[in-house]
Amino acid sequence: MSLKLKVIIGVIVQFALGTAFLPTSAAAFTERCIDNSYVESCWVRLDASSSKLIVFVHGIDGSGKETWGGVIEGQQVTWPELIASDGLFKDADIFVSDYFSTKWGQSPNITELASGFAGEIRENKALSKDGNGADRYQDVLFVAHSMGGLIVRQALLEDEELAQRTKALFTFATPTGGSQLANWLSILSSSQSLNDLRREFQLQYRLNDEGEPEAVSSSFLRNLRQGWRASGYLETIKSYCAYETLPTEALGFGKIVVEERDALVLCNRTNPLWGAHNDIVKPADGWLGQSLLISWYLDAFPDLGQELEAERPGDIVLVQCSTDFYADHEYALMQEYLSDLSGSISSRVRFSRVLPEDWRDPYLDYIWPSGNSEPSILVLHYSCFQEGAEDEVGWYERYWDNAEFLNSLIPTGAKVVFFSKAFVGASSQDVVKVDGSPGYRFYPDTNRGKIPDQKLRPIREAYFEPDCPRMLSVSSVIKNEEQRGEFEANFKDVVRKLLQSDC
């Protein structure tokens, strides 16, 4: 390999993945943050009355300031700072873990880093008791980027008491399944941390019963996954995972650093988040990381909905469904399109909590957690309530449940954007129909029967006024760039139309 090629690849490593890091001294864990610079590990908020602890853990070659820092409306901000200023998190102390990063030198492996991290959390008295003998923190939560999520998981495997206190793990682009990019680049680096991120197994040797050496496959990530499953933490510690959707650009090359399949391993709930590897955790205009974290936090603590900032009329709500595996790609694209619109519309974009599988559960609290069901624009997949198979039985259940759902929404004044590959040929000009007239036939007859007219009549009256429709549809058939462009144009068009509608 030429020297020039090694240098180019080396720069890409530093830019995209970086190198391993070393923890700061334990003494730094007693310090309050100064001006949110996070030069060392420090407390953003430390309150004797807090019952929860949120710990931010950056990834490989990151730092407290660089990883979590960004700009919103021209102002320098950090994500921990945004959390501290939000009333939803008022009962949580906030700690930012910072590390010293090496570049290309010898560095500890992830197991060693995790052991040091768990020890520092203990030295910081996160697991201490109060004056009455109760746990200092009832719930510990981690917000982790990239390799930081692996350090947290390994630390929890090593420290059972810390694991018992941990309520949830929120990870962003964490390569639990490994990173193909690390496979290629680890041959150029002496970083043991980078080597641990390899997707492929490494051959090691052991003596068999006959005393002869035999090759066995082994890797840090394989052992981590096996340990997490064997511990039962898949059930006791809920893992919420987001993955990047855009490539990281370096020297004219573009590469997804942590691919979707590798970021979703060991996860209970997954979401695409528009942006490149480092950008998905950096506050910015149009950034949705905070809204996604809030939706996860409310899923972990549903009783805190009343503490949420009041919903606003005209909010655009990306409704998360239990069947979102149908539409992850579309949701990622719509985040990008709404970000493009952020300069021309005043509406706030946010996520709902994940709706229950059965709409008959009290789902309104999942969309409007504070209880103020202000008129909003709801964006959701047409199969949000389809539990059955892709056959006439499943379709009829979908039609029926959608009709029930829409009827129950009428008092809220909400407007709805449905998207689906089923809307073949539909354009932004085609209002979804219920009577078979031009446009998509929303409730066609099936062998199971016809939706009763008494159920459809209120829907027609509420959503399909000729001069003021409250429901529009978008075809999400995206097989080439032309169809992707059509989806983008039509989606933006229907959002603008519903925002401009006064009814």
- The answer on 196 and 231 residing in a single domain is yes
- The answer on 209 and 127 residing in a single domain is yes
* Token digits of residue 120: 């520092």
Beta bridge partners of 144: 57, 171
Of 280, 303, 326, the residue at which a domain comes to its end is 303
Q: What is the mean pLDDT of residues 63-87?
A: 92
- The answer on 244 and 352 residing in a single domain is no
- Report the CATH number that the domain containing residue 242 is assigned in CATH: 3.40.50.1820
Look up tokens 């709500």; give the residue.
317
- The answer on 67 and 167 residing in a single domain is yes
- The answer on 365 and 251 residing in a single domain is no
Q: What is the mean pLDDT of residues 397-405?
A: 80
- The answer on 257 and 320 residing in a single domain is no
Q: How do strand 75-78 and strand 69-72 relate by DSSP bridges?
A: antiparallel
Chain centroid to CA 284:
16
> Tens digit of pLDDT for each residue in 488-497?
998 999 898 8
| C-alpha to C-alpha distance for 106 and 191, rounded to whole angstroms | 6
Q: What is the mean pLDDT of residues 318-343?
A: 80
Look up tokens 């009709």; give the residue.
403
* Token digits of residue 263: 């970021």
- 176 close to 149: Cβ distance less than 8 angstroms: yes
Q: How many domains is the chain built from?
A: 2
Q: What is the mean pLDDT of residues 230-239?
A: 95
pLDDT value of residue 218: 57
Is pLDDT at 156 greater than 90 in this prediction?
yes
Query: Which of helix, strand or coil describes residue 421?
Result: coil
Residue 227's pLDDT band, with cuts at 50, 70 and 90, is very high
Residue 12's pLDDT band, with cuts at 50, 70 and 90, is very low
| C-alpha to C-alpha distance for 78 and 157, rounded to whole angstroms | 29
- The answer on 123 and 201 residing in a single domain is yes
In one-letter notation, the amino acid at residue 132 is: N
Q: What is the mean pLDDT of residues 336-341?
A: 86
Would the pTM count as exceeding 0.95?
A: no
**Using alpha carbons only, what angle is made at residue 208 by residues 202 and 209, rounded to the nearest 5 degrees?**
160
- The answer on 359 and 245 residing in a single domain is no
| φ/ψ (deg, to 5) at 285 | -60, 130
| C-alpha to C-alpha distance for 364 and 343, rounded to whole angstroms | 29
pLDDT value of residue 497: 87
Q: Which of 406, 153, 148 is nearest to 277 (CA)?
A: 148
pLDDT value of residue 425: 55
pLDDT value of residue 427: 47
Q: Measured between alpha carbons, how far apart are the two ends of the chain, in Å?
A: 66
Longest CA pairwise span in the chain (Å): 84
- The answer on 125 and 199 residing in a single domain is yes
Of 270, 303, 336, the residue at which a domain comes to its end is 303
- The lowest-confidence range among 127-141, 263-277, 489-503 is 127-141
Decide which of 163 and 33 is more confident. Answer: 163
* Token digits of residue 164: 């018992």
| E strand or H helix at 465 | strand 464-465
| C-alpha to C-alpha distance for 346 and 410, rounded to whole angstroms | 24
| C-alpha to C-alpha distance for 82 and 78, rounded to whole angstroms | 6
Q: What is the mean pLDDT of residues 11-32?
A: 45
* Token digits of residue 362: 């009290």
Alpha helix stretches (DSSP H) within 212-353 = 220-231, 233-236, 260-263, 289-300, 328-341
pLDDT value of residue 8: 44
Is pLDDT at 16 greater than 50 in this prediction?
no
- The answer on 414 and 398 residing in a single domain is yes
- The answer on 165 and 129 residing in a single domain is yes
- The answer on 158 and 33 residing in a single domain is yes
HSE of 406, CA atoms in CB hemisphere, 13 A: 30
181-185, 243-247, 405-409 — most confident range = 243-247
Of 303, 328, 363, the residue at which a domain comes to its end is 303
Average pLDDT, the chain: 79
Q: How do strand 316-320 and strand 349-354 relate by DSSP bridges?
A: parallel
Residues 6+ apart with CB under 8 A from 301: 167
Instruction: Convert 440-458 to b/e letters by CB count within 10 Å (16 or more is b).
Output: bebbeeeeeeebeeeebee
* Token digits of residue 307: 């503490």
Q: Which of 417, 406, 409, 426 is nearest to 472 (CA)?
A: 417
- Report the CATH number that the domain containing residue 380 is assigned in CATH: 3.40.50
Q: Which domain holds residue 94?
A: 3-303
